[in-house]
């Protein structure tokens, strides 16, 4: 989830929506809808800077492509697909980066992708990449994010209906292109503002399956990392978390909390489909976070142990340099498209969506046996573990009482406690130790282990060490 550096909303001139395009596929200018073009244009590739690259392109199983978004005027969605390093029968896992408007490449190169970027611009295989346990998909979405683009302004998305329909249509085209993966277990994952995308997308897939639309997608679960899902509960938790972590004093909390009743009312009026009321609640409730940051100073709101450096509070400049190399762009087939790591245009387009409650669709999924894992690094302020645990605890579903009464047990990796876990039936919450907003970046080994155990149905291991060691989160 990205807060703009300026208090003012980004202007539409902040970024050229229509970019000078030289594309693969080569249909970026005017789209002649009378010509039937393939929905997906994809190529196998190997990054030219990959160290120890003796593996053939075929054996590597790395793909990059564009999907011609079906219900759009001229939109193309860019994606990566990395086949599992272990077994093609591993689950298919899609990762959605938040923002809104931040590119999936942030995760590919800094979190759970197959590579990390060295300072000399070479790529090193990531020992804890999620492609070690899954067939891994990354998409640049909504339109205008990363390498995804449109030459028609009407293709900007403003809500989860548009976002989830585009993603569902993409999956249909993807599994049509890769039928050998269509029967694999399927999981939706992501972080930050994807706490909005993921529940909406999971509900759309489930609805499509029930209605027998197109290819059946074998949805087994969805995971939200340090997400924004239920704003009313999460915004209320800001001052509690900030006080607990020593960022503010009790007097600060009392003063800032005076905004809460108006914020809660505005969010209630926004509901799940409000418009002007949702914009009003965004403006009003944002003062809670900005007041805390005014006291905190230059801390990194994604990891309160650190100082904020640069617009995104981290130095991701190696990714920009890497993706702007000519040989890299040729390998991916993206021509001269301007790469947008975090798009202010997309961010602004989604402002009315921000305060909507996406928790409301989750109980139906749980009742139908679809698993949810909510996990959060303990040092993130902006989507903190406290707010996330509270909305999970408050969620009404048939297992609600049993979940609340369940013990919190250690999540043990290599004999050490990597987090604390609470689980009942299809619902799990994991607080990850020594991590901020980007758990797979801060705790890569624990994050991969989490994915393996969760998709394998063994989040709680049968370990005598964990018996009787319950604690309160």
For residue 419, what are the contacts with CB-CB under 8 A and spacing of at least 6? 375, 410, 411, 430, 431, 432, 433, 446
Contact 420, 453 (CB under 8 A): no
Q: Which bin fits 121, alpha (ψ -120 to 50), beta or left (φ > 0)?
A: left
Burial (0-12, 13-18, 19+ Cβ within 10 Å), 145: buried
As a whole number, the mean pLDDT across the chain is: 89
What value does the mean pLDDT take over residues 387-405? 98
> Residue 96's Cα: distance from chain center in Å?
4
pLDDT of residue 275: 84
Write phi, then psi, for 125 (nearest 5 degrees): -60, 135
Query: Which tens digit of pLDDT belongs to each residue from 189-247?
Result: 999 999 999 999 999 999 999 999 999 999 999 999 999 999 999 999 999 999 999 99
Query: Which tens digit of pLDDT belongs to each residue from 307-357?
Result: 999 889 999 999 999 999 999 999 999 999 889 899 999 999 999 999 999
What domains are defined for the chain? 37-230+305-464 (3.40.50.1820), 234-296 (no CATH)
pLDDT of residue 164: 97
Residue ranges of the alpha helices (H) in 98-159? 105-110
User: Is 437 assigned a catalytic role?
Assistant: yes
| Cα separation of the two ends of the chain | 24
Query: Which tens digit of pLDDT belongs to each residue from 20-60?
Result: 222 233 333 334 444 456 789 999 998 987 876 566 777 78
Reading the block at residue 155, the tokens are: 């293709």
- Among residues 380, 389, 428, 433, which one is catalytic? 380
| Ordered strands of the 62-68 beta sheet | 40-44, 62-68, 76-82, 135-139, 92-96, 186-192, 219-227, 371-377, 427-432, 416-424, 409-413
User: In the chain, how many H helices and how many E strands?
Assistant: 16, 15
- Among residues 104, 428, 437, 442, which one is catalytic? 437
Contact 189, 93 (CB under 8 A): yes
Reading the block at residue 419, the tokens are: 């987090």
For residue 312, what are the contacts with CB-CB under 8 A and spacing of at least 6? 2, 341, 342
- Among residues 84, 104, 148, 192, which one is catalytic? 192
């Amino acid at each position: 989830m990205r807060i703009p550096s300026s208090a003012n909303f980004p202007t539409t001139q902040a970024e050229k929506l229509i970019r000078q395009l030289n594309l693969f596929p080569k249909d970026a200018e005017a789209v002649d809808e009378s010509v039937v073009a393939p929905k997906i244009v994809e190529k196998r590739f190997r990054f030219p800077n990959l160290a120890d690259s003796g593996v053939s392109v075929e054996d590597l199983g790395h793909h990059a492509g564009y999907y011609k978004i079906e219900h759009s005027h001229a939109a193309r969605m860019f994606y990566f697909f990395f086949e599992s390093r272990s077994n093609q029968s591993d689950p298919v896992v899609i990762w959605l980066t938040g923002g809104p408007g931040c590119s999936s490449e942030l995760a590919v190169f800094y979190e759970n992708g197959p590579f990390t970027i060295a300072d000399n611009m070479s790529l090193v295989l990531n020992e804890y990449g999620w492609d070690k346990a899954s067939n891994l998909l990354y998409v640049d979405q909504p339109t205008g994010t990363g390498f995804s683009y449109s030459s028609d302004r009407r293709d900007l998305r403003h809500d989860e209906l548009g976002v989830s329909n585009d993603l569902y249509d993409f999956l249909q085209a993807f599994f049509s292109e890769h039928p050998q993966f269509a029967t694999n277990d399927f999981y939706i994952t992501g972080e930050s503002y994807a706490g909005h995308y993921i529940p909406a997308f999971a509900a759309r897939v489930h609805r499509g399956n029930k209605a027998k639309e197109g290819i059946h997608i074998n949805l087994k679960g969805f995971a939200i990392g340090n997400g924004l899902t239920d704003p009313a509960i999460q915004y209320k938790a800001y001052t509690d978390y900030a006080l607990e972590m020593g960022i503010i004093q009790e007097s600060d909390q009392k003063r800032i909390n005076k905004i809460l009743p108006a914020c809660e009312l505005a969010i209630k009026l926004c509901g799940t489909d409000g418009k002007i009321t949702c914009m009003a609640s965004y403006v009003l409730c944002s003062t809670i976070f900005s007041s805390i940051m005014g006291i905190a100073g230059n801390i990194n709101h994604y990891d309160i142990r650190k100082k904020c450096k640069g617009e995104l509070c981290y130095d991701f400049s190696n990714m920009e340099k890497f993706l702007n190399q000519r040989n890299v762009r040729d390998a991916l087939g993206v021509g001269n498209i301007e790469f947008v790591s975090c798009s202010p245009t997309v961010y602004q387009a989604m402002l009315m969506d921000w305060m909507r409650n996406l928790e409301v669709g989750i109980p139906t999924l749980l009742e139908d046996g679809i698993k949810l894992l909510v996990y959060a690094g303990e040092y993130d302020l902006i989507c903190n573990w406290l707010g996330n645990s509270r909305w999970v605890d408050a969620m009404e579903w048939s297992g609600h009482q049993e979940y609340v009464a369940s013990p919190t047990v250690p999540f043990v990796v290599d004999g050490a406690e990597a987090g604390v876990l609470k689980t009942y039936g299809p619902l799990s919450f994991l607080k990850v130790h020594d991590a901020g907003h980007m758990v797979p970046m801060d705790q890569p080994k624990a994050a991969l282990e989490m994915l393996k155990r969760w998709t394998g149905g063994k989040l709680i291991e049968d370990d005598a060490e964990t018996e009787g060691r319950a604690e309160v989160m």
